[in-house]
Chain A
Amino acid sequence: MNNIKYPFSSLLLVTVFCLVSFGLGGCGPKNEVPGKKVVTVWHWMTDREAVLVSLADKYEASTGVKIDFELYAPSEAYAQKVRAAAQGSNLPDIFGVLGEKRDFAAYIKAGHIADLTGYMEENNQDWEKRFFSKALAVNEFAEGNAYGVKPGIYGVPIDIMTIMLLYNKDIFREMGLDPERPPATWEEFLIIGKKLKETNRQGLVSGWGEIWMIDCLANDFAFNIMGKDKVLATIRGEVPYTDPDWVRVFALFKEMQDAGLLYNGLISMVNKTAEQLFANGKAAFAFNGSWCVNVYKEMNPDLKYGAFLPPRVSDKFTVSVWGGAGSSFMVYDKSKNKEEAIKFLKWLTDKEQQALLAQETRNLPANKESIGKISPILAQFSSAMEYSTHPSIWGVSEFSPVIEAFDKGIQSIIIGEKTPEQIAQEVQKVKERELAKKR
């Protein structure tokens, strides 16, 4: 063995090569076309990929600027990718932020997202005026916001959504109910639940295994029972979750369960399963967002259904639904192609492109001038925009552990494990713990 001549310098070279290769391997190449500007867009919308690519081709043909749409799905993986890219300051020219307003604010404060206010206000607010105000509000930070972000508009809404209750008209007809008259009050809703139980039919389906949708319906009820101010006061820590109004909100879920309104196994259901069940006529009600129109069309084109606002529990305050911007795009502040990226987003939110997006993907357009070209069911979702609200526009955010305790608590109520009063106390305990930590 001692006679073997070690290739010392070669070995050193190989080692250095390996290390350099590994070191540089993570730095992905940028899409560059010689002599041509390329704007890269990262998105997560599998259902919109084809139409976005065709729009990109159209844009390139008219301007010479290539738009490179890169799809990363599912949305959880996309969110992780954006977060990792932000850490490496390697974000694309245009991207979306999936998450809570708090995350959006963190990206802005880290200098990753461009302030678009000036562009929106150019030419007598030409760009800003195109959008539904609530769609834009989701991308806006107001004066004195709780996140410490400089006031302004930081995102461009591509489409809007509202989350509503849906009912199957055929099942209503079979039960002897008026298929054009969904329940308007809580009492009417419970009576239908009893009828469903008597006729051995299943009630409401939704993605309540992915808990955020429980939160959504619970907040709809909370706004109706106690009004926006009290809900926000609770988030600020001024009203406890043990307040009778909140206990009433929790109790509504028990009442729904007792009345037979909830599908058996609802709490471990993902939204995709819920969509399949509703589309196949296995459930009388669904709680879903306006994106479902496209999904149901694909699953069962003959499905006859309508959308309605959550039934009124109280007459004191108006009923609310979650709504606003469905998907938004942000511009990377450090991008070399920032101006090109903004120009493209202006073009993408033009009436013509928005109408095409709405027609092809059956989503509600963010441009209010394109709303005339939508189907009747989408129009029902669209009409709910006036009742819409969203945590992103509240100006305050609830602590995530509180949201989790709240939603998991409702699951416990539905399975009969805990009472509304117990859950109210447990949620308040988590809230106090988080407030103490903040102090």
Chain B
Amino acid sequence: MRLKSTLENYLFVLPAVAIFSIFYIYPFLQVFILGMYDWDGISIARTFVGLRNFKEIIFQDPVWWHSMLQAGWITLIALTFQNALAFLLAWACDREIRLKNFYRLVFFIPPVLSEVVVGLVWQWILEGNYGLLNHWLVQLGLPQLVRNWLSDPKTALNCVAIVHCWKGFGWGFLIFLAGLQTIPRELYEAARVDGANAWACFRKITLPLMVPVAVLVGILTVLGTMQAFVLIIAMTAGGPAYHTQVPVLRILASMRGSSRFGYACAQGITFGVVLVAVSFIQYRFSKKSQARGA
């Protein structure tokens, strides 16, 4: 009887486990296994090379690590600029201001737009000869600032980062707003009764209670930004030279450009490991901060 009951229980979770295994675990294992082969993605024969692909990525592929650093830079800008903006706007919309529902809607428009469309529109705005930004700069009497924003190695990566932040801050805004709305209003009322001003309420109530939400937004930002590539393809295609290359573009280049599927799989695994490690460190760090705060 107990055996039957146990089997029944397992049977209930079997569909979920099976689907998870087929669509997540099996492909992951396959990618890892392929990462140990030299394979062009077409031939039937694959040459087993062990960990050679991983060794090449780590020690002989400077472009890969350069692209990782560039993705890291975009992520840093997103973590600071994008999330600060998202938090401030969410905080403003959480207060009793006029047209707050309208603002909530407007701030969530960029994330729902297609990345290709956003990339192409911004490419047009930032174009060096007929672009809107340069036109405005000239109109404002700042012709010395006019440049070819996406072809200049000094500005291309930052332009991509800013557009990425503009496109993505709506998600952070939404999560921060949801977090702010879960803070009991009584806490603020009690604090005010005790004589706390707005700044004190923000520092002593809002900020500490928003730490878990900020951690979540931070992890999602890191994962989302490190993997960004559609916007970059639409804006710069990874150029000029290697100045806006990011890891996913390198994986695509290995797959499509070089037909090195095995190497691309190894790059994917390496990238995944880096992302998991960064997220784990971020999580541990925030846990420690929370414990210290408590």
- Chain A residues engaging chain B, CB cutoff 8 angstroms: 6, 8, 11-12, 14-15, 18-19, 22, 76, 79-80, 83, 86-87, 99-100, 102-103, 106-107, 109-112, 202, 209-211, 263-268, 270, 282, 400-401, 403-404, 408-409, 411-412, 414-415, 417, 433, 437
Contact = CB atoms under 8 A, between A and B. Distances in A.
Contact of B8 (A8, A107, A209): A8
Nearest to A12: B11
Q: Which of A22, A76, A87, A209 has the most CB of B within 10 A?
A: A209
Given A106-B42, A106-B259, A415-B241, A19 B152 contact: no
A276 B10 CA distance: 61
B259 A99 contact: yes
Contacts of A417: 153, 241
Contact of A210 (B19, B150, B237): B237
Given A22-B22, A268-B156, A412-B241, A109 B259 contact: no
Given A12-B11, A415-B151, A209 B237 contact: yes
Nearest to A410: B241
A209 B22 contact: no
B27 interface: no
Given A412-B241, A415-B241, A268 B259 contact: no
A415 B15 CA distance: 56
Nearest to B150: A268
Nearest to A7: B8
B43 A110 contact: yes
Given A106-B42, A110-B43, A265-B127, A209 B239 contact: yes
B18 A267 contact: no
B256 interface: yes
A7 to B, nearest CB: 10
B94 interface: no
B80 interface: no
B15 A15 contact: yes
Nearest to A19: B18
22 contacts: A8-B8, A11-B11, A15-B18, A18-B15, A18-B18, A87-B41, A103-B259, A112-B42, A209-B236, A211-B239, A264-B129, A264-B148, A265-B129, A265-B148, A266-B151, A267-B239, A267-B240, A268-B237, A400-B260, A404-B258, A415-B153, A437-B56
Nearest to A430: B63
Interface of B: 4, 8, 11-12, 14-15, 18-19, 22, 40-44, 56, 60, 127-130, 148, 150-153, 156, 236-237, 239-242, 253, 256-260
Given A401-B258, A417-B241, A268 B151 contact: yes
A391 B156 CA distance: 32
Contact of B44 (A110, A202, A267, A401): A110
B231 to A, nearest CB: 14
A110 B46 CA distance: 11
Contacts of A437: 56
A400 to B, nearest CB: 4
Contacts of B242: 408
A369 B253 CA distance: 40
A268 B157 CA distance: 13
List of 3 A-B pairs having minimum Cβ-Cβ separation, nearest first: A400-B258, A106-B42, A265-B128
A14 B44 CA distance: 36
A215 to B, nearest CB: 12
Given A79-B256, A110-B43, A403-B257, 4 more contacts: A22-B22, A267-B151, A415-B151, A415-B241
A404 B11 contact: no
Contacts of A202: 129
A109 B12 contact: no
A102 B44 CA distance: 15
Contacts of A209: 236-237, 239
